[in-house]
């Protein structure tokens, strides 16, 4: 079986009647990094909660490595590591004790070699004797990851791992997660930072108002939905666009100094040379011409608006 996680027809309606998840179907491949991208309130934490046993699904089925999370709760929970969105990090315990204790909580026999390797992988080894409350924010996050990995899970959930974390630390976290993937762990992270999904994920799922509106390989997503834009910076501000150009659906900026033309980069007949010819014949001259590929951010905004 290639899937490590299978979610079928998952619905969650909270008490009070709010439907936070609407018929979600999602399959996660072994060893991938999957980013669940969506605005605040979209249902990301609810979805993770359902898989990890903190949120009871209203209907649907969830299998972790082939085991049903309801019938086989203990087994599936052992296969999962979770770094929750809200971290509790005010502990007087040392890093070493906390991580070893976590392992015991999941009924795993002590394995100091494994814990040592985990702390080393996360660059926490030097801090093993420090109490958690004395660590910096970034180090605390790493301790939470080490805790989540303590019982050797196959799947690691990171719920908004870098929310409120500065840019430097965020990059650091991305490196750590890539390194984790190399150890064979499947990683599912949620984020509302588009840049994060773009940077980290092999595949991206976009969730909005409880609906998973799309799952796609990152590169395919960029290729399929990405549009290209041609920007022509004019030598002189333009009064109005010449009539013969109306069919191109051009965009003139407020200062009337640049024309934008959106085109389909996958089509041979993108209209660019014809358009430029028309502009020259209309007496326009340009200072600069450049193209721009739409970012995941623009794709995301378009999708979520729809």
Ligand X SMILES: Nc1ncnc2c1ncn2[C@@H]1O[C@H](COP(=O)(O)OP(=O)(O)O)[C@@H](O)[C@H]1O
Site of interaction with ligand X (CB under 6 A) = 14, 16, 18, 20, 38, 40-46
Least Cβ distance, residue 110 to Mg ion (angstroms): 33
Query: 121: Cβ–Cβ under 8 A, 6 or more apart, which residues?
Result: 176, 179, 180, 183
Smaller CB separation from ligand X, 5 or 42: 42
Least Cβ distance, residue 87 to ligand X (angstroms): 15
Give the number of other Cβ atoms within 10 Å of residue 175's Cβ.
Answer: 10
Question: What is the gyration radius of the CA atoms in the chain, in angstroms?
Answer: 25
Smaller CB separation from Mg ion, 158 or 259: 158
Smaller CB separation from ligand X, 16 or 239: 16
Least Cβ distance, residue 42 to ligand X (angstroms): 4
**How far lies 74's CA from each of 106, 159, 247, in Å?**
9, 21, 63
- Tokens standing for 28? 């996660």
Smaller CB separation from ligand X, 16 or 283: 16
Which one-letter DSSP state was computed for residue 131?
B
Q: Which of helix, strand or coil describes residue 194?
A: helix
42 binds, among Mg ion, ligand X, none (CB under 5 to 8 A by kind): ligand X
Site of interaction with Mg ion (CB under 5 A) = 44-45, 85
Smaller CB separation from ligand X, 98 or 190: 190
200 φ/ψ angles, rounded to the nearest 5 degrees: -100, -35
92 binds, among Mg ion, ligand X, none (CB under 5 to 8 A by kind): none
7 binds, among ligand X, Mg ion, none (CB under 5 to 8 A by kind): none
Give the number of other Cβ atoms within 10 Å of residue 23's Cβ.
Answer: 14
Nearest to 48 by CA among 58, 62, 33: 62
153 binds, among ligand X, Mg ion, none (CB under 5 to 8 A by kind): none
Taking the C-alpha atoms of residue 67 and residue 120, their distance in angstroms, rounded to an integer, is 31
**How far lies 303's CA from each of 22, 98, 130, 146, 306, in Å?**
17, 42, 46, 35, 5
- In sequence order, the β-bridge partners of residue 179 are none
Least Cβ distance, residue 306 to ligand X (angstroms): 18
Least Cβ distance, residue 128 to ligand X (angstroms): 32
Least Cβ distance, residue 161 to ligand X (angstroms): 13
Smaller CB separation from ligand X, 144 or 189: 189
């Amino acid at each position: 079986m290639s899937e490590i996680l299978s979610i079928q027809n998952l619905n969650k309606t909270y008490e009070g009647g709010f439907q936070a998840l609407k018929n979600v179907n999602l399959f996660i491949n072994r060893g991938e990094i999957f980013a669940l991208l969506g605005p605040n309130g979209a249902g990301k934490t609810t979805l993770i909660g359902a898989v990890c046993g903190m949120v009871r699904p209203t209907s649907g089925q969830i299998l972790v490595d082939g085991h049903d999370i309801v019938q086989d709760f203990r087994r599936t929970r052992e296969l999962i590591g979770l770094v929750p969105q809200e971290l509790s990090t005010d502990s007087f315990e040392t890093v070493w004790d906390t991580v070893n204790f976590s392992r015991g909580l999941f009924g795993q026999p002590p394995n100091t070699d494994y814990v040592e390797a985990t702390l080393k992988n996360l660059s926490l080894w030097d801090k093993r004797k420090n109490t958690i409350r004395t660590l910096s924010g970034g180090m605390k996050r790493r301790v939470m990851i080490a805790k989540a990995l303590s019982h050797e899970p196959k799947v690691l959930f990171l719920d908004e791992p870098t929310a409120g974390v500065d840019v430097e630390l965020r990059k650091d976290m991305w490196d750590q997660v890539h390194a984790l993937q190399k150890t064979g762990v499947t990683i599912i992270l949620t984020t509302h930072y588009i840049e994060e999904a773009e940077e980290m994920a092999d595949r991206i799922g976009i969730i909005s108002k409880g609906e998973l509106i799309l799952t796609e390989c990152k590169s395919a997503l960029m290729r399929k939905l990405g549009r290209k834009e041609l920007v022509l910076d004019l030598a002189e501000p333009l009064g109005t666009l010449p009539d013969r150009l109306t069919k191109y659906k051009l965009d003139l900026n407020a200062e009337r100094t640049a024309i934008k033309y959106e085109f389909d980069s996958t089509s041979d007949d993108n209209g660019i040379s014809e358009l430029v010819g028309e502009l020259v014949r209309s007496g326009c001259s340009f200072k600069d011409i450049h193209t721009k590929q739409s970012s995941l951010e623009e794709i995301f905004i378009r999708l979520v608006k729809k």
